[in-house]
Structure 1
Amino acid sequence: MAKTQSESKTSGGFDQAAQALFSANPLLGPQAHQFWEVQEKILQEAEQFSKHWFDRRHTAARTALQATAELFGTAPVDPGAAAKVLHDWQMQSAERVAEDVQEWVDFCTRSAEYVTAGEVSANKETLDSVSAAVEDAEHGHAIPV
């Protein structure tokens, strides 16, 4: 069955668009590959950061329970001892928050390094691919001797 004129235009447009996309593959391939490699690295880093963050929150909850037990246990409360328990818990909490901030800065720094290194690598691959394609095109028209 023969195609109608509108079907030919539609499929021809798709064919041309697909051909244009795939002919640009030397330019897009390295970029897409590096994008997904960087995504994987950043996801692993985020997972590690989150794990450590949750570990610190669990530690905070456990130490808060211990501090509460010491403060409100069966013995009469000594104000000096209570102040020390609270001070110790708060100091540990401040240390955990400092660890949160340090790990966040490290996470952001490593992520920026991954993106930058990925871009440099992808651009080099793209340049190499384009250079090879240009060289092939130039030699493709040569007449063998």
Structure 2
Amino acid sequence: MKIKCLIVDDEPISREIIRRYLDEFDDFEIIAEAKNAVETIQLINTHQIEVLFLDINMPKLSGLNMIKNLNPLPFIIFITAYPEYPVEGFEVHALDYLIKPVSPERFSQAITKVRKKIMTDRADGFLLINVNIG
């Protein structure tokens, strides 16, 4: 089952970079992209988004302020040019906080965190056993 995600950034080039990085991970499906908080809220209300790749500084309503009003809250990976907000990001339960420009290696580390969290949540009472035969 694919991990459904939404890319949110007001800069088209940033959305393109995240899209290219996500193309390397077959278990992630980009449901949509948004350039502001209003679009994001509409998409979250109409789709079952599991992961939000979210910029902080956007016109009118910041990513931080937007997610304070979301319920339920998807898993959040902040991707921003602003290094001064990680505490606030983690206070709203972000899984990771990436500073632009993000390297493919650092992006991959964030993906690993998402996978672990999703696997734990999807298991929900079941024991998953990885068997390597051969």
The two structures have a TM-score, normalised by structure 1, of: 0.24
Higher relative contact order (CA 8 A, sep 6+): 1
What TM-score, normalized to structure 2? Answer: 0.26
Larger Rg: 1
Q: Which protein has the bigger helix share?
A: 1
- Structure with the largest fraction of strand: 2
